[in-house]
Amino acid sequence: MSEIVFLGAGKMAGAIVRGLISGGVVPPSAMACLGGSGTSAPALAAATGIRLASGIDDLLDGAETLVIACKPQQFKLLDPRLGELAAGKLVISIMAGFSVQRLAAFFPEARSVAAVMPNTPAQVRSGVSVWTAPASMPPQDAALVEKYLGCVGKVVRSEAALMDAVCAASGSGPGFFFEVVDAFEKAAEGAGLSAAMARMLVRGTFIGAAKLLEQTGESPETLRNAVTSPNGTTFAGLQVLAKHDLRGIFGEVVHAAKTRSSELGKL
């Protein structure tokens, strides 16, 4: 009998499994996983000690909670008996754009369903997981969702209508951040720094600035102004960002990601 099982064994499933183990919430012996034709599930089982299921029936037999951790595009390819086999279980989906309404329709006999948008910093237990569920979810199941997700970072419950925006801001957010870091590092190299020096300075500065933002509780604008002298170096760089409408660009970025999340939910 397994407390929690994973259908899909990619990086996010692996992050949750490792978080549950390291947090002492669920032992490896009470978890199982099943993947597709690739090697991710056997690798996760070998690395963490959880059980590798032989098939969908074996995975769900006796399980209390099912985590759907495949890609949204793969969901239609899953065993059509999945909805029936998940009867009486807590079903948690971490598929981008997959609405809780669609989840509830596919798993009508599930005990409860929850749609979650985690993000990749969960791999170092610094993620943000936003989840939603029908208002009728029993408190004990809501507590389980919070307990499981809390092992990999912060947990926030949200309205279902906001999940596409959550996907754009939080789920996709690390990708946008990494792109900015990479661009900044390349720019520092272009200014004459070695690749190693650029990497150390840029990453150290970004990480330090994020800690300053978190620990002081000040607004980004306040901290930006504190480092910006009139007609100084920071002011000169900010003028370039304003000229190219950085805020408008990020508005378009988030809008595009939100739109795609909605599209994925209809596949």
Residues 112 and 154 in one domain: yes
Query: The domain containing residue 201 runs over which residues?
Result: 171-264
Instruction: Tell whether 166 is covered by a domain.
Output: no
* CA count, 13 A, side-chain hemisphere, 154: 4
Distances (CA, A) of 97 to 30, 73, 192: 29, 10, 43
Residues 130 and 203 in one domain: no
Contacts of 47 (CB under 8 A, 6+ apart): 14
Per-residue pLDDT tens over the stretch 74-99: 888 888 899 999 999 999 999 887 88
- How many structural domains does the chain have? 2
Residues 178 and 153 in one domain: no
Residues 21 and 146 in one domain: yes
Residues 154 and 220 in one domain: no
pLDDT score, position 221? 98
Please answer whether residues 167 and 257 qualify as being in contact, where contact means their C-beta atoms are separated by less than 8 angstroms: yes
Contacts of 223 (CB under 8 A, 6+ apart): 209, 212, 213, 216
Residues 110 and 151 in one domain: yes
Please answer whether residues 99 and 124 qualify as being in contact, where contact means their C-beta atoms are separated by less than 8 angstroms: no
Residues 234 and 149 in one domain: no
Residues 150 and 259 in one domain: no
pLDDT averaged over 10-residue windows placed end to end, the chain, 267 residues = 92 96 96 90 97 96 95 82 94 90 92 96 96 96 97 96 94 97 98 98 98 97 97 97 98 96 81
**Which residue do the tokens 């946008």 mark?**
176
pLDDT score, position 80? 86
- What value, to the nearest 5°, has the Cα angle with vertex 136 and ends 267 and 26? 80
Residues 12 and 88 in one domain: yes
Residues 220 and 119 in one domain: no
Residues 146 and 175 in one domain: no
